[in-house]
Amino acid sequence: MEKRAETRTSQPDADYDKLGRDALIALLRSAIQQRDEVISKYEAMAYQVNESTHEIDDAQLEARREARLAEKNERHAQEEEALVRQLQSLLDEERRKNAALAEDFARFREKMAKTPVEDPWGHLGRDLGQIGDDGVAWMRAKIPPDSQMLPWFDRTVEGSKKAGLLACQWGARAYDWAKPRAIELYQWGKPRAIEGYKWARGEIEKRMGKGQGTSGP
């Protein structure tokens, strides 16, 4: 009897323990499910935050790109504006030089019209010199001020002027030296040339006379 009572009293305890384990397992499963849901929510939030961060990074990169592009465009515009100003300055300088050259030619033509022609050779020399100087000035105005060719051009023009002046001086000296000697040579040779002409003419007449005499009947 006592054994049966023990089995009866222990059976409800076993059922209670079994029900307690089932409840614990169910509670554990519920807790695990809630944990998984929380983790899933956190993962979704983390993904959204990551996507938002990427969007922010992309927006920042796009803003930086647009800022650099705007800066580049502004710098390019400034360079273009500086180039336009430089070209305008060169054009104004070229117009000024052309106007000055036109004024020089106008003064030269006016001077030629008003200058009396007393010494044609001297007048021609002065005119040629003026034309040469104007041509040199015009050619020099075509060379940029910062060009390496400008000093070479100036030296060449200076050398040509010195050579031309030296040639003129030597030519004048040669003319001065040769003129009296040419006159002396002319005065010395003129009578001799006349005598030689008379002698040759007489010889020709004698020979022609002899020929006519021997050819008769």
> In this structure, what token pair is assigned to residue 119?
């010494």
58: pLDDT strictly greater than 70: no
Q: What is the pLDDT of residue 123?
A: 58
119 half-sphere exposure, CB direction, 13 A CA radius? 6
Reported pTM: 0.28
pLDDT tens-place string over residues 194-209: 777 777 777 777 776 6
> In this structure, what token pair is assigned to residue 88?
């305008």
- φ/ψ of 216, rounded to 5, equals -80, 180
30: pLDDT strictly greater than 60: yes
54 half-sphere exposure, CB direction, 13 A CA radius? 5
pLDDT tens-place string over residues 94-125: 778 777 777 766 776 676 666 555 555 555 56
> In this structure, what token pair is assigned to residue 156?
């060449």
Reduce the DSSP state of residue 143 to 3 states and report it: coil
Q: What is the pLDDT of residue 55?
A: 62
Q: How far apart (Å, rounded) are the C-alpha atoms in residues 81 and 74?
A: 10
Q: Map out the domains of the chain as residue ranges.
A: 176-204
> In this structure, what token pair is assigned to residue 2?
């006592």
Please report, to the nearest 10 degrees, the dihedral formed by the alpha carbons of residues 198, 199, 202, 204 taken in order: -110
Q: How far apart (Å, rounded) are the C-alpha atoms in residues 147 and 138?
A: 16
Q: What is the pLDDT of residue 155?
A: 79
Cα Rg of the chain, angstroms = 61
Average pLDDT, the chain: 69
Q: How far apart (Å, rounded) are the C-alpha atoms in residues 206 and 41?
A: 152
